[in-house]
């Protein structure tokens, strides 16, 4: 049977999960796996309703003292959560850490004992009240006690705050920051060697972003995150209107090495025109993708692709990943008709973490109403889809978006045991396993 036909439409569950679904808690599991999911080469393992805080967002994971802790931001709640996923079949919600009100607290990144959480001005469409104050910038936390983070400092942009930041460990954090005097976010490099006293070490903006400069052709802005080469000398990132390679040998004065533009003709919605860039450093490849913005595909085409980066001064488009198709028997002929957003969003990005699966032949990519998709890039000229997992349709939306009542899968993280974690606007934390071809052998058991 071809892989595209090898699927489970109704999401048949174990007896214990089915018992939980009708209101009787299965022994040892507080939150049963919801029914109605669909999958191809995926199986659900566990689920957490996040103490009734649906809409978890960005994730990071840390193994310490033989226990695994997953940290998340939230879309519809101000703050961050910690879930003990040591036993993925029985995830245990540990704690919710309240964040500042009326502020986006959706993004976070960590390494070793330092966690950086983003604070950003939100909008009424996402539930914010423009008449009330908001926080902005970042908070830096000491997570040496993994279940009791301690805030050690706050750094402010003086403007709209920060979005998708990265902290790969060491001296510097790389911020997508809305700074005074600039249109849309720019790259700010922050020295966090003294976490209690962070200070700016460098910045870079696209010509035309600084107020008073002639604006370039097309959208401009830095969504984040910046991905840093193993030798620390180059940063590759999505920076509208395309992908850029920066020489960061001199942190105080980053220098553009090369650029490949995508918008136009592809999606030209601000910094989302190129949302994610995931380098495969060993193969000198870049995975790149946009972020769907408009519901029901009312915008230019969203895409995911592979870029040859052997010559960082001249990155070139190598191949496009195939567009996901609905499962056989679905009540819509394409995902645009399903409602909500359809298109790429996040990939398994926190690969600097020792407990996160490193890029191999598989690309894990959330696709909003099409759930999580997996693409095999063993042949980078001919990538193929080899698996997917779509959470059930929700009975109601957990927040003000999307306009349609529909699942909207947001983020994915894969640990070194092979467990695949998924968040969604309308669900809690899903823990799954990919069972298709080219799955890497777990490096941690």
Q: What's the pLDDT at 412?
A: 98
What confidence score (pLDDT) does residue 272 get?
77
111 close to 166: Cβ distance less than 8 angstroms: no
> Residues 6 or more apart from 224 whose CB is under 8 A from it?
163, 164, 165, 166, 174, 175, 176, 185, 237, 238
The pLDDT of 371-400, averaged and rounded, is 98
In the prediction, which pLDDT does 5 show?
Answer: 37
- Which conformational region is residue 51 in: left (phi greater than 0), alpha (psi within -120 to 50 degrees), or beta? left
Rounded CA-CA distance 103/52 in Å is 20
Looking at the predicted structure, is the pLDDT value of residue 271 above 90? no
Give residue 269's pLDDT. Answer: 72
Return the pLDDT at 216.
75
Better-scored residue on pLDDT, 266 or 88: 88
Number of neighbouring beta carbons within 10 Å of residue 14: 14
Q: Which candidate, 210, 184, 197, places its Cα nearest to that of 269?
A: 184
pLDDT of residue 30: 67
**Residue 6 reports pLDDT greater than 90:** no
Q: 253 is written with which tokens?
A: 């004065």
Q: What is the pLDDT of residue 104?
A: 98
- Per-residue pLDDT of 123-155, as tens digits, reads 999 999 999 999 999 999 999 999 999 999 999
Compute the distance between CA of residue 227 and CA of residue 279 in angstroms, rounded to an integer. 7
pLDDT at 341: 98
Confidence label for 3 from pLDDT (cuts 50, 70 and 90) = very low
Average pLDDT over residues 432-442: 94
Check residue 259 and give its pLDDT. Answer: 97
Residue 386 and residue 42: Cα distance in Å, rounded? 10
260: its two tokens: 């490949």
What's the per-residue H, E or C state across the chain?
A: CCHHHCEECCCCCCHHHHHHHCCCCCCCCCCCCCCCCEEECEEEEEEECCCCCCCEEEEEEEEECCEEEEEEEECCCCEEEEEECCCCCCCEEEEEEECCCCCEECCEEEECCEEEEEEECCCHHHCCCCCCCCCCEEEEEECCCCCCCEEEEEECCCCCEECCCECCCCCEEEEEEECCCECCCEEEEEECCCCCCCEEEEEECCCCCECCCCCCCCCCEECCCCEECCCCCEEEEEEECEEEEEECCCCCCCEEEEEEECCCCCCCCHHHHHCEEEEEHHHCEEEEECCCCCHHHCCCCCCEEEEECCCCCCCEEEEECCCCCCCCCCCCCCHHHHCCCECCCCECCCCCCCCECCCCCEEEEECECCCEEEEECCCCCCCEEEEEEECCCCCCCCCCCCCCCCCCEEEEEEECCCEEEEEECCEEEEEEEECCCCCCCCCCC
C-alpha span between 102 and 421 (Å, rounded): 27
Return the higher-pLDDT residue of 348 and 9.
Answer: 348
The pLDDT tens digits of the residues spanning 23-63 come to 333 334 469 999 999 999 999 999 999 999 999 999 999 99
Average pLDDT in the 406-435 region? 98
Mean pLDDT (whole number) for 331-335: 97
Q: What is the mean pLDDT of residues 170-182?
A: 98
pLDDT score recorded for residue 174? 98
pLDDT score, position 268 = 75
* Residue 21 reports pLDDT greater than 60: no
d(CA 327, CA 333): 9
Instruction: Say whether domain 3-434 belongs to CATH 2.130.10.10.
Output: yes
Per the prediction, the chain carries an average pLDDT of 93
- Percent of the chain with pLDDT strictly greater than 90: 89
Taking 80 as the threshold, does the pLDDT of residue 180 lie above it? yes
């Amino acid at each position: 049977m071809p892989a595209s036909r090898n699927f489970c439409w109704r999401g048949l569950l174990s007896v214990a999960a089915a018992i939980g679904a009708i209101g009787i808690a299965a022994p040892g599991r507080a939150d049963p796996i919801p029914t109605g999911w669909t999958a191809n080469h995926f199986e659900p393992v566990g689920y957490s309703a996040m103490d009734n805080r649906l809409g978890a967002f960005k994730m990071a994971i840390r193994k310490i003292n033989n226990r695994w802790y997953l940290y998340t931001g939230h879309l519809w709640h101000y703050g961050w959560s910690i879930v003990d996923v040591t036993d993925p079949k029985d995830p245990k919600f540990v704690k919710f850490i309240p964040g500042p009100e009326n502020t986006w607290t959706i993004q976070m990144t960590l390494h070793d004992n330092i966690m950086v959480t983003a604070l950003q001005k939100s909008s009424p469409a996402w539930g914010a009240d423009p008449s009330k104050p908001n926080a902005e910038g970042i908070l830096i936390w000491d997570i040496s006690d993994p279940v009791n983070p301690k805030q050690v400092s706050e750094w402010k942009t003086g403007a709209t705050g920060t979005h998708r930041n990265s902290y790969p460990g060491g001296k510097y954090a790389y911020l997508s920051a809305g700074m005074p005097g600039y249109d849309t976010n720019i790259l700010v490099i922050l020295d966090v060697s003294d976490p209690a006293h962070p200070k700016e070490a460098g910045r870079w903006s696209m010509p035309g972003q600084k107020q008073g400069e002639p604006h370039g052709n097309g959208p401009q802005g830095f969504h984040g995150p910046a991905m840093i080469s193993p030798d620390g000398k180059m940063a590759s990132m999505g920076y509208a209107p395309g992908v850029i390679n920066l020489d960061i040998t001199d942190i105080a004065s980053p220098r553009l090495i090369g650029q490949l533009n995508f918008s136009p003709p592809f999606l030209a919605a601000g910094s989302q025109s190129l949302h994610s860039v995931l380098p495969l450093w060993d193969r000198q490849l870049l995975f790149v993708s946009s972020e769907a913005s408009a519901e029901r595909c009312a915008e230019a085409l969203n895409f995911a692709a592979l870029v040859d980066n052997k010559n960082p001064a001249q990155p070139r488009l190598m191949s496009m990943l195939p567009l996901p198709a609905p499962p056989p028997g679905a009540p819509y002929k394409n995902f645009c008709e399903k409602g909500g957003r359809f298109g790429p969003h996040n990939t398994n990005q926190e690969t600097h973490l020792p407990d996160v699966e490193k890029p191999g032949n598989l690309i894990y990519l959330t696709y909003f109403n099409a759930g999580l998709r997996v693409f095999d890039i063993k042949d980078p000229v001919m990538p193929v889809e080899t698996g997917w997992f779509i959470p059930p349709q929700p009975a109601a939306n957990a927040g003000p978006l999307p306009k349609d009542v529909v699942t909207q899968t947001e983020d994915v993280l894969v640990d070194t045991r092979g467990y695949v974690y998924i968040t969604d606007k309308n669900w809690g934390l899903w823990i799954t396993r990919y069972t298709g071809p080219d799955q890497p052998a777990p490096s941690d058991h």
